[in-house]
Amino acid sequence: MPLTTQATPTTYWLEHAWLGTHVEPGVTVDVADGRITAVRTGADTPPPGATALRGLTLPGLANAHSHAFHRALRGTVQVGTGTFWTWREIMYSVADRLTPETYYALARAVYAEMALAGITCVGEFHYLHHAPGGTRYDDPNAMGEALVSAAEDAGIRITLLDTAYLSAGFGAAPNAHQLRFSDGTAERWAERADALKERAHARIGAAIHSVRAVPAGQLGTVADWARERQAPLHVHLSEQTAENDACRDAHGCTPTRLLADHGALGRRTTAVHATHLTTEDIELLGDSRTGVCMCPTTERDLADGIGPAARLQGRGSPLSLGSDSHAVIDLLEEARAMELDERLRTRTRGHWTAAALLRAATADGHAALGWDDAGALETGALADLTTIALDSVRTAGPLPRLAAETAVFAASAADVRHTIVGGRQIVRDGVHTLVPDVPTALAESIAAVRG
C-alpha cells in the first residue's frame, strides 16, 4: 500500500514533545491533509478521540545520506582488515548483481528499517543507473524509479539525489564496475535526470559523486542543473586523503577549492564527509553556507577519520547526519557519535547541546534534502513525527525534562515506538504497518544479491 497522507483530521497527544529548544509535557498536535494545523500545550491527559503517543516525540528524523544497496554489505565487510579501497571492491561486487526488481525489494526493506528507526525522509545518493556494461534500460531511470517506489511503499519520503559519476579518477575512464554508473558526459547525465518527476513523497536533487568522478570542466553542468531547478546538490568531499593528493596533482588545489572555482558551493549544496580539510577549505564551505553531512558510523567503520564538524559549524556550515553505508541505521547514534568523536579528538566535552544535535537530525537534515517544510513541531509543517520510548532499559530513570539528553546520549533506534509520516502512522508500537516482517524482507532481498 503506497504512502498517503492522513485525509481525516486527526489529533495526537504527545506525552512529552521536543519543541526545538525544550521538552514540553502534554502537547496536542492537530493534523489535516498531512500537515500540522495546531500545536497546543498544557494537555495533562489525552483529549477525547486523540491518539496517545507516550514517550518523547520529535519531528521525524532526516537521513541525509544513504546508499541503499550498501545495506547488503553489513557483516560481510567486517571480516578481516583493509581500507576504504578494499571495502570498495566488495561494494562493487554487490552493485554488479542488482536489477531494478532486486533493487526495489532491497531498498523497500532498507527504507522500512529506516522507518522503524524513526527516519521519515531519506536522501538517496543514487549512482547505480544502468545495466551491467553500461547499457541503458528501456526506461533509463529504471533504477531511480525503483528507489522512489520503494520509499513510497515503505511509507517514507525521499529526495533522490541523482548522481553524476563519469570517471574512475582524474582523467581515467570508468572501470568495468563503474560503467553502470556513468552516462558518459554531464550533458547526457542532465538529459537523463530531466526525465525524473517529483511526487508527493519524492523530490529530485542532484549529486556530484566526487571531484575524482566528474571531470573539472563538467562540474559546472551539474551545479547549473541543480541551480536552475532550485534543487539540492550533494557531493562526497575529501573523504580520503588520497583524493586530496590526486586532486592537487591534477589541478594544483584541494577538492573544495575546485568545487568553489566551478560554482558548486552554496546554500543548496551539501558536502558529505568533509573529513580531511584545510583551514581554507573550512572557510570556503562556511562562508558560502555550504552544508555538511557527517556520517560518523560509516566514517569510523571505514577508518576514514574524524571530520572537523565543530569548526565547520562555527564558520557557518549547517550540519546534517546520514547513515551512508548502513553499518547501522540509527540517526540517534549518528548524533551521539558526532559529539563523542569530537570529545575523543579534543579531550573536552560539550561541543553540541542535545538540542543542537537533534536539530542536525531533523530540521537541518530536511533542509539539506529540500524539505524546508519539515523538521519542526509547528503549525504548517509536514506532520512527520517520531516517538522515542522513555521507559526502556536504556532510557528509564532520567527526569522527563532531560528527555532530549536521554534520547541523544542513551537511546537507540530500538527505542523508537511510533513513526508518523504525513499524519499517518507508519510504525505503531514498534511494528511497521506496511511491511509486516521487515527482518525477513531484509534477509530475502539481501540473499537475492549476495554472491
Q: Give the residue numbers marked as catalytic.
A: 273, 324
- DSSP states of 243-300: HHHHHHHHHSS-HHHHHHHTT--STTEEEEE--S--HHHHHHHHHTT-EEEE-HHHHH
Burial degree of 217 (CB within 10 A; 0-12, 13-18, 19+): exposed
Length of the chain: 451
Cα dihedral angle (284, 290, 291, 294), rounded to 10 degrees? -30
Compute the distance between CA of residue 226 and CA of residue 439 in angstroms, rounded to an integer: 37
Using only C-alpha atoms, the chain has a radius of gyration, in whole angstroms, of: 21
End-to-end Cα distance, the chain: 31
User: Could you tell me the maximum CA-CA distance found in the chain, to the nearest angstrom?
Assistant: 68
Give 114-173 as a DSSP string. HHHTTEEEEEEEE---S-GGGPPPSSTTHHHHHHHHHHHHHT-EEEEEEEE---SBTTB-
